[in-house]
A and B are shown apart, each in its own frame.
Chain A
């Protein structure tokens, strides 16, 4: 096992005992158990439910093609969904294909403001905040998922807070 894999955090979100013996036969089980939380996560990062479904679907399609070569399916899927969600936002495919759900009728006004503010801040900061406050990951775990260094995560969360306060005050 490489150092990188050994550093994979033991979070309930990342890796839960599936090993290299997992075969295509185990795909459906992982799909059923992981799908809802992955779509929710992608929704929070992309601000679009429909984009989130596409992101997660694409990740599963890619993963299925080499299913038996992936050591940690949940960890792989989690990281892939986070990164693909960020790419989707960055490349602005989102705007062309999926209008952002910037406001949602299900939220009371004070939370709707927070949701709209969150959709306006840079995606990297938003991702860090979602992983911190929704997924409850530690700084080290977020660094692992986002492929950045822990100090960068602390900086992103700090700047995310500043951006949120700025958005909420305007």
Chain B
């Protein structure tokens, strides 16, 4: 055993012995108690079943010929269909992003705009800081370009500013999370896969290396295992980006319930192709906290899922898409 091994063992043991440990078990138990539980959902479902089976029929009236019928003629249920325009880009969608930007502008630097998941990029610098960031410093109406990636990784963003000088050479690769990362992601229990195969090739996202490299042979020493290839296709990413803008715009202009947003998410996956996963949050809590949901397109994981619309910008159909100033 060499000297460094011994020193490492001794140092680690000594630091570990000095570690302070505070017990906060009460907070953990309390946190769970505040959340709606599956048992609660099951109880609500059971109550609804009882109502459907026994109580509602008792409220119905008997007709003259003895048949049981409802108290009033049942109106035909409106058929909900997906409007194809929700999946295509239009000016209303851009207006939603302008409004989202305005809503958060106070806490950001001038020129900031609302970012998209399809603008995700990893910027890695040899011997320097790496950043898992978003290349969003260009107008929402324009497409993501190599220039925008360069600006983000070499000169412009908060993380890259930590560099003393921008690198002279950049290599643009397509990064895909390794199989083990998907296993870990799914092992977390937060999601389940509804369609698609985690073993399939995923769409991937831009990884910009601050040195001359061969993407296919480069092995990164990063926290997440990422496999690089040299086929970064910005056209594909921009098609994804357009869809993300359209879906976000539609979700703010219409209040979709969970099932409607799920149907729209399924449609989005059809548009994106077989390399995409359709996943779902396993937590039923997601269905209880809001009335409005949106399909979310996540480029890094190559996955589409449904989330709550946090702060909806547009309101009722027919209302102005963007709130008036002031």
Contacts and interface: CB of A to CB of B under 8 A. Distances in A.
A115 to B, nearest CB: 5
Given A90-B222, A148-B180, A40 B19 contact: yes
Contacts, number: 114
Contact of A83 (B8, B32, B184, B221): B184
Interface residues on A, range: 35 or more
17 contacts: A40-B19, A43-B15, A49-B19, A53-B21, A53-B24, A65-B35, A91-B132, A92-B129, A106-B14, A106-B15, A114-B8, A123-B223, A129-B8, A134-B9, A134-B13, A164-B8, A165-B4
Interface residues on B, range: 35 or more
Interface string B1-25: 0001101111111111011111111
A124 B224 CA distance: 9
A61 B31 contact: yes
Contacts of A147: 180-181, 183-184, 225
A125 interface: yes
Main secondary structure of the interface of B (DSSP, over half): helix
A114 B7 contact: yes
B27 interface: yes
B189 interface: yes
Interface of B: 4-5, 7-16, 18-25, 27-29, 31-32, 35, 129-130, 132, 159, 180-181, 183-184, 188-189, 221-223, 225, 283
Nearest to A123: B223
B188 to A, nearest CB: 8
A101 to B, nearest CB: 8
A118 B14 CA distance: 14
Contacts of A87: 223
A148 B225 contact: yes
Contacts of A52: 19
A4 interface: yes
Contacts of B29: 27, 64
For the complex of A and B, the 3 pairs showing the least CB-CB separation, nearest first, are A134-B12, A40-B16, A90-B223
A114 B22 CA distance: 26
Interface string A125-159: 10001100110000000000001100010001001
Contact of B16 (A44, A92, A110, A164): A44
Nearest to A69: B189
A98 interface: no
Candidate in B11, B16, B32 with the most chain A CB atoms within 10 angstroms: B11
Contact of A39 (B19, B180, B221): B19
A66 B283 CA distance: 10
